[in-house]
Each structure stands twice: as C-alpha cells, then as structure tokens.
C-alpha cells in the first residue's frame, strides 16, 4: 500500500497496487487480455465508468474463495459463520465510511441503478400518488432520470426537471420554484458524471424537507472521490456503486434512514429476507436483510470492505484534492485549444467532458485509443443533458488516485494529433 503525507498522494507507490496499469494496448481486442500486438502504454482515463481494482481488494476476495467460501445466514458450520461475520461487517464498514447510523441503514444492491429501482418499486408504488410530483434535474444519469420518469408515468404523477445554467450548474431558483407542497421526492446527482458539477446537496435536501418531501442523492461519482457524510447531509436516500471506488462489480449501496426503510415493503422477495413463512402469510427479516433477497454478493461485499480500507488509508480529503488538481490541469490544458469545447463549470469533480469541433466523439476516442488513451465517448447515460448541450455525444476523461499529469499530457497530445488529422 502506498504511503503519503497528509496532502499529496504517492502515485508511483499506488500504481504498484494496480497491475493492469502496466499493460499495453493496441492488439487484438476479440480476446481479453494482453497479446503480442499490444505495444502502446495504457493511459486509463475512464474512471467515471469504472475504476480499477487494487491487489488488496482482489486478495481479500481470493482469501474468501480459498479459505471461507460459504453461503451466509444459513449455516451453523464454521465457514458459514465466518462468511456471515465478514458479510455483516461489510455493512458496518460502509455505514462508518458514509457516517450512517449503522448497518440497518445500509442495503447492498447490485449497483446504483438497482438502488434507484428499489426505492421506486417500494416507496414509489406505495406512496407516490396521482397529482404529486418528483423534482429532479436536467443533469441526471439515466439510472435516476428514467426510474423517476417511469414511476411517475405509472402513478399519474409529474416529473419536473430543474434547469441548468450556461455554466452547467443547477439553477437553484428554478429548483425552489419547482419544489412545492405536492412534491414527494427531490432527487439530484451529487457530482454530475458528464459536467463534473458538484451540486449543493445539503441545500437541496433542506428545500425538499421544507416541503415535507424526501430527498434521494445519487452519489455514484461522489463517494469514490470525496468525503461523504449522509448524516450531515440529512439525505433520506443516497446511492453508489462499488465498482467506481476500487471495489468489484456486482455490488452497490442504498443508504436509507432507518425509519423510512422500516416502513417500506420489501423489493424482491424469497429466501434470506423472511423471518417466518407460513402457507397463509410471511413476515420479514429485520433491516437491512429485508431488502437483500436470495444469496447476496458475499465476495463483492468483502471486496468493497477492502476498497474502503484502501481509500481510508489514503484519506478521502487527499483523494478529493488529487481529483481537483488533475481536473483543473486537464481543463486548463484542453482549454488551450480554441476548437475544443469543454462542458461544465471550472470548479468540478475529477472529470472533463469535451468535444473537438466538427469531429464525432467516437472518432476522437478511437484516435485517442490508438495512442493508448482510454476515455469514454458517447452520451454517458445523460441523453437529455446532451440534447441541451446540443451535441449527440461527448468525450469524457475522468481521473482517479493512480492518474498523473503526465497521463493528461498524453491525452492532450493525442487530441492535438486528432485536431491536425481532421483540420
């Protein structure tokens, strides 16, 4: 594990924990893994899509499979008890990390998307009434936007979208206007995965509560990159994914205030989430197990615990500082080109989305890929936002703890090559 002083990351040491960063690219992509045609160093700048996994996380999961692989909550034998303890403790570790009151408030889902669906199918279908509204924003990821849109359609409720201004920031006056006494939920992304905008989530939650509405904050890009305190934020629901914060795929988190989760019906039903089943009726397990039907993501929960350990050893303030430094550097360097348009405010989370005049994002990223630079091209699951930006797609570079300014220089150089090619 990397050591560093309180303010700067020892990126070289960190990179040693991520073997994939040493690989080269450029060869046959029809088979996974390096091949003889791979001769270009990899510059991985697609962390907002998914982050890489350090040895420590892989080893924690390997240890589970090699030494105490068993199902949880259903065996008296030693292995099952060990696995159950590790799985339960993973909830405690997540609770500590985001300052939730305890494991009762931490439900493991498949990902952020499932967390939104869980709330829509439980709270939404039972509580949201015709004539009420859900206020969300123009910069939401489809995981939240489509979920609220479909829920409102089913329930005869209205979905309202808070506008963004020309800097890509939320128009808070518009938000205040759109939230009224018929608002049942206010839902906003904490850090936009396209614009990088960091939204004022405390204020958003306060406005929701002034109207007795609930708040649901999408933390998919925030939890990996900055300290998050759900208690201080007073959010009612908060969601994020393990795979964007050094953890494995297949596990996400829904945080919910205990009294709210207690009151909700289950989402999926079956084994593990029941207390007593009779032919006539069934009663539910206590929180959080009531929302975790079937065999849960055990190895993934153990991996997520190791990912949190890794991030905490670095310190989330330090992670945030590093993200800001790289995003500012990338913004400034790309801004040197007058034919590059960058979206979003100058104060931003660790990502930069942009377009090169007259060049489709897919063509640009394909050239970047030839230079070993891995970025995301497309709509980043924010199609309505791209409609507002009036472009079909954009190219997004996103940074994490193992990235360096030198990698951003590679990005900028590759963009410059593309500029000359398409000029």
How many angstroms from the chain centroid is the CA of residue 152?
Answer: 24
Q: Which of 79, 260, 274, 381 is catalytic?
A: 381
Q: Is the peptide bond before 392 cis (omega within 30 degrees of 0)?
A: no
Residue 92, exposed/middle/buried by CB under 10 A (0-12, 13-18, 19+)?
A: middle
Q: How far is the CB of 46 from ligand PLP (least distance, A)?
A: 11
Name the residue with tokens 């046959």.
28
**Does residue 218 touch ligand PLP according to CB under 6 A?**
yes
| Alpha-carbon distances of 216 from 219, 328, 371, rounded to whole Å | 9, 29, 40
Beta carbon of residue 144, minimum distance to ligand PLP (angstroms, whole number): 6
C-alpha–C-alpha distance, residues 184 and 216, integer Å = 11
Nearer Cβ to ligand PLP (2/106)? 106
Site for ligand PLP in 365-384 (CB under 6 A): 381
Out of 146, 189, 408, 415, the residue judged to bind ligand PLP by CB under 6 A: 189
Dihedral over Cα of 10, 15, 17, 18: its sign: positive
Site string for ligand PLP, 383-402 (x = CB under 6 A): --------------------
Q: Kindly compute the dihedral angle of the four CA atoms of residues 172, 174, 175, 177, in this order, to the nearest 10 degrees.
A: 130
Q: How many residues bind ligand PLP (CB under 6 A)?
A: 14
**Region from 30-38, 162-170, 218-226, 293-301 binding ligand PLP, contact rule CB under 6 A:** 218-226
- What values do phi and psi take at 382, rounded to 5? -135, 65
DSSP element (H, E) containing 106: strand 106-109
310 in Cβ contact with 54 (< 8 Å): yes
Of residues 54 and 242, the one with the C-beta less far from ligand PLP: 242
Contact range with ligand PLP by CB under 6 A, out of 6-14, 213-221, 310-318, 341-349 = 213-221
x-marked contacts with ligand PLP along 103-142 as a string, rule CB under 6 A: --------xxx---------------------------x-
Beta strand 237-241 with 214-218 is parallel
381 is catalytic: yes
The window from 31-39, 151-159, 217-225, 336-344 that contacts ligand PLP (CB under 6 A) reads 217-225
Among 143, 179, 330, 361, binds ligand PLP (CB under 6 A): 143
Residue with tokens 């128009």: 171
Binding-site ranges for ligand PLP (CB under 6 A)? 48, 111-113, 141, 143, 189, 193, 218, 220-221, 241, 252, 381
Catalytic residues, by residue number, are 381
């Amino acid at each position: 594990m990397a050591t560093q002083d309180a303010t700067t990351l020892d990126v070289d040491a960190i990179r040693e924990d991520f073997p994939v960063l040493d690989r080269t690219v450029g060869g046959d992509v029809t088979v996974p893994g390096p091949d003889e045609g791979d001769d270009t160093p990899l510059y991985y700048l697609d962390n907002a899509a998914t982050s890489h996994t350090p040895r420590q996380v892989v080893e924690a999961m390997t240890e589970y499979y090699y030494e105490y692989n068993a199902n949880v909550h259903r065996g008296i034998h030693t292995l099952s008890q060990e696995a159950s303890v590790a799985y339960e403790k993973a909830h405690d570790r997540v609770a500590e990390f985001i300052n939730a009151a305890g494991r009762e408030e931490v439900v493991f889902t498949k990902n952020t998307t499932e967390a939104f669906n869980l709330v829509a199918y439980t709270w939404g279908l039972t509580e949201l009434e015709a004539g009420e509204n859900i206020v969300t924003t123009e910069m939401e990821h489809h995981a939240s936007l489509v979920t609220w849109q479909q829920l409102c359609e089913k329930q005869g409720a209205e979905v309202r979208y808070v506008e963004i201004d020309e800097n890509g920031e939320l128009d808070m006056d518009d938000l205040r206007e759109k939230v009224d006494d018929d608002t049942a939920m206010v839902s906003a992304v904490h850090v936009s995965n396209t614009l990088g905008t960091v939204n004022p989530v405390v204020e958003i939650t306060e406005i929701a509560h002034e109207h007795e509405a609930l708040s649901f904050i999408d933390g998919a890009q925030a939890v990996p990159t900055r300290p998050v305190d759900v208690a201080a934020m007073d959010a009612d629901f908060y969601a994020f994914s393990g795979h964007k914060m050094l953890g494995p795929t297949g596990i996400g988190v829904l945080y919910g205030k205990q009294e709210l989760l207690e009151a909700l019906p289950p989402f999926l039903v079956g084994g593990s989430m029941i207390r007593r089943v009779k032919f006539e009726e069934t009663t539910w397990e206590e929180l959080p197990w009531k929302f975790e039907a079937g065999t849960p993501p055990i190895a993934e929960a153990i991996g997520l615990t190791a990912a949190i350990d890794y991030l905490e050893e670095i310190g989330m303030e330090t992670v945030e500082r590093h993200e800001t430094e790289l995003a500012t550097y990338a913004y400034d360097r790309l801004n040197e080109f007058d034919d590059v348009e960058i979206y979003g405010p100058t104060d931003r989370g660790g990502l930069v989305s942009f377009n090169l005049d007259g060049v489709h994002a897919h063509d640009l990223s394909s050239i970047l890929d030839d230079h070993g630079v891995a970025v995301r091209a497309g709509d980043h699951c924010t199609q309505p936002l791209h409609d507002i930006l009036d472009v079909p797609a954009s190219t997004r570079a996103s940074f994490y703890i193992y990235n360096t300014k030198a990698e951003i220089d590679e990005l900028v150089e590759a963009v410059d090559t593309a500029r000359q090619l398409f000029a």
